A and B are shown apart, each in its own frame.
Chain A
């Protein structure tokens, strides 16, 4: 198969749709079961980007691992993840081989660890292409050169090894590799964390470009809500293993219903506006509960300035306001909470009580 034929064949792949439903993941640890993810559900319509946000330990990376079939053996896994209608959870190794890279590709968090140090980067991309497409080495190499051009790396550097690349270049190489087979669904797990802002902005410009140029679907996992605001149509906010809020990005980040989302929003550093009073930066007091023994009611109750007795005893129902949904007992008071959450005193009182 020639390069033109290969490109035409890959370009014909449609963007994928992903429906995750009732996903729960339980790690078995020496100290007993650990419910990292509980009853998570979301839908990525074909050709759109979904942002999965939350702080460390909220289970967002576990969701990615479950989707890629990367969880350790013996991990409890329930629910469904339908990729264009096919359930991709708990597949056998053989079946997974057909799905990974080909239909769903991963841009990992630490580019250093996801490249093999003893093979040249070109060889690694060629290997991924040839594992899925019946092409010769020369054709696969030519495809790899095109992918490098796409992410702004010189083709001559394909022969180099990972250690010869800077952090930002490695991250771009990983993106090139994830794009090589034009999978319908991309999972990007913290693709820019630990990079400085200039590099982050360059990488995100490229990732956004993929979306516009190739019409792929993407799940972007990050703790940076501004990156989500600039990139994703849909936002899903996770806290302590559960989805607390989801919906169209403009609504979730613009008019949040859940106090946790309000907290995240106020904790985000903004540029000062000259003349205007400086907006206070407000942190969310307390720490994420231990998921080995999660609290009986709302998991955010311990850190929530608006928590009532009901919140500490009864898990909140999911309330919907149009396409926006939040797991909170008091979504009807969201307007009032938003005003209070913007004041540092509201959260400071919590800290004093904690």
Chain B
């Protein structure tokens, strides 16, 4: 204490210095007993003067813990460490814990040995600063940082990357690994532009980053297309933050959101919309949307283009409402269609809206529009204020429908004008429907509708009907049959025509042909009588002609015999006249026979005949007669001309034509007859041209080819020849014409089918 007194003044200075310190100070002696302390030490340690005085390092009341909350042994206490090492203890973190360690006071402890001149440690100075608050704050910060780090790490699809000023990766979260395909290990330390920046962006990125680092020019958030480890592009939305470390280093953090799915969805949406739009465009469908609340009408361009307009043709915005629609509407439909739409809107709008009306195309034509709409529903199914709908141009089908209606009306009125009975029957023979004046029905409709033919008609007729139904359906053709049925006093005849429509039904049209059958029967009977009469007449004619011929033949025979035996008697004129008359009689009868022999249905006896040789033969036969009469005959028919004819008729016609020309030659000039041909279409024309007497056609034309007409007053003319020729030509399907001029000549034209 003496010493203490001696040093009283410095001691007081020292003491006040101790007290003024913001740090706790404790001085231990070499036995670790506390010999000096200041009040700050008491405060920090939570001890009183009495509690601390004389204490050694070991004290069961409290103990030191390390930063990891491990209780330290006495040897590890700062005083013992200094004592043991004899060296300074730099500021070290310790926790001071009393009793149960419910609360910890964190202190930064430094220690210094105070040595005597021998170098032995005499005293130990321990100073400590309460840093509990700082430690707590640091811990909280660390925890929060850890939490954020965890969040960053675990953010799915949210890539967080940190870069230093050299653009080297200092942070790479899990999402970055997933999104960019580089593991954390691969990424750390590598440059931004080496990893995820595509070539075309590299320069920009390097420039932008250094501008931000050096000049504070912020990189704005944006959509970018970056690059994955495998080189594939990656759409991202990229945010950038610049952070500054306590050391003043700038770090760039990028937070990238993977847009791949979003892009895909967007694309899909666009695709869908495009598809929808193209469907609309192709199908000539206009879309509309009506908002009840503000009475806005939205329409797609097709709404107008389908009517030949452009949307720009209308000074039109949402607010014009449905007036655009009404404006384009056909005047006749305007009121009713509008009413219908407004009725729908004012109702519950549970069912879809549907309406047909006409709108007027720009070209003035009327278009039938099929409008359909539907209320947009809330998720809970309640109606919203929006109705969506479409306009479809159904003009074509509507026109077809109208046409069908008109046709139906036409057919039905046509049907009504037919006095027939018409039944619709199913394939199994059931009467399905009928059309008839009921007075024409034998049974009331109730008696046959729904019943089978076999239940209604006699078996034989039912069989015919069923057969006809089957034939009509399977053969797809009109099938006809007839039946007769006794009604009252007369047998009635019916003609049935059956046509199929579809595979299961037929229409049977039944015509009462009783009258025509009766008429036909009468005609048949008449015809039969006629035929009998005709046959009798033919026979009679044959007999007459034969008998006549017998006698003329005898007369001619007798005359020729007389000529042989007593030719001188013919010097008598009367006998000469008898001879001449007999010849004429013979010729007449011969002609009559030819007429009888012409069969008007000779078609099957027609053959192909080469004309020229036949004609030559006839000319040969007539050569003497022609020479005697001074007539030249010229055959100008080509060698290869063939005609279809009945040989006997052809002979007869050719002969007749030539003999006529010879007979009716003119004595005034050298006579000729030339035969030539011409082919016109499906006919061959044989012409016989002479320069004979000619015929006055004005007087005789209509009678020229009649029976027993003569036109020349020439003694040999008997006139039957042309009549026969005409009938023979006609029997072969041809015709004969004449052109003539009295005193000039005549040309006969014989037309024969090829």
A and B associate in one complex: no
Q: Give the interface of A toward B (CB within 8 A).
A: none
